[in-house]
Chain A
Amino acid sequence: MDIPLSWYLTLAAGLFSIGLFGCLTRRNAIGILMGVELMLNAVNINLVAFGRYITPEAVAGQVFAVFVITLAAAEAAVGLALIISIYRTYDSIDMEDINLLKW
């Protein structure tokens, strides 16, 4: 317990912001997906850290993290399937080219 809680929050905040940046600015669809994965990991760190520091006797934080990991795995599978499907249709995974619904 010699690590203060705020350290974990800082790490998670940094990871989340970097993930958000990647998500907003990468042109490659797979890069965007990786940004989402980073953000989910940041959320998980927060969940487990809060669970460990605020309610250590319950395991609720870890249980939630397990669910988030499950979700992230499913999200990656479906997201990548969509990307491959888009690649087949448009012959590109550059998000600048995929603008059918933009205007």
Chain B
Amino acid sequence: MQFLDNLFLNISQVIRNLVGGFLPDWGVEVVMMTVAAAVLVVIAVVTMMFLTWMERKVVGRIQDRLGPNRVGPFGLMQPIADMVKMFIKEDITPREANRWVYNLGPIVVVPPAILALAVIPFGRGLSGADLSIGWLYLAAVASTSVIGIFMAGWGSRNKYALLGAMRAAAQIVSYEIPQVLSVVGVILIAGSLSMQRIVEAQNVWFVFLQPVAFIIFLIASVAEIERSPFDLPEAESEIIAGYHTEYSGLKFGMFFLAEYISTFAVSAIGATMFLGGWRGPVLPGWIWFLAKTYLLVFVVLWLRGTLPRIRVDQLMNFAWKVLVPLALANLLVAGLIAAIINPAETPGFWTFIGFLLGNLLLIAAVVMVGVLRAPEMEASEAAVVGAKGALAGQ
């Protein structure tokens, strides 16, 4: 087990020794970084292919279908067939499009998704780069994903594409705030922005100390990556396919790639921040990490298979009137409790009780506000609050 746990670290050490034989120190560093980057890109692409298959299988099961089952065992080769199809599609550029912006759009969309993988700890000491600004880096990289979407939407010179891009930008910018704020509570307890340090601080999983934050993070993340029920920017019935309406072939594939890598990345971040990352008994760390990540991926797919799409006005109201105040309240409670019982010094049990009590109070307050305001609200708004209350009350 010890050997399996350190498997990838040992491989990296072997490469380091091999290269170190004939290169100076800085050369070794450059080679190691290049190798790490290449591995991350390969992981990204393989993950994307696996996720497309998994999504179709899971959603198929939810809808009482079989899902892909023709190409290879269990349809496992389906992503490869899809890829071949994508390669041989005609590459179309609309005549009115702004060529440069239109063609650069899909190229700019992918890097933010892949860059996020760089700081995620896949196992003990196993991350591309353990930056001291970890979470800030992730938030910063995620916020740049809007740019590619804007380029695609504006460059296409298509009203649906433009509408989709503006919807996407408004959505991403709005939901980024509760997403970042919800994790601040975790960072407060861990006392570090570095992802590895956050994992090491989780003797108790943070999902038990910060359940409200976890729910806010989950909802905001699903909105961030524009997946159902928050897939308004690509709502087929309203604006065709949103900002990638005009794209075909490989360029469309790029948007696809970015979306699935983002899905994996936010699930991995959620697993790292709230579910203890690679920590777990018996099995090697990276297997725990993958198991937890895919659990969250499954939740995201499950949401897609179950919930109907929400409306634009509900979308903004939900972010600004529900999630942001809730995230701020959660931060306030977390800060108060951290000030009363110093989590770095008090034994785990009392920290646990303290934060749990705080969160229960918060949930009680939210449910009370929801109940008091329910009669005044439209039925639809009440449904949103009710759903949130039910989620929070579990």
Contact, chains A and B (beta carbon distance below 8 A): no
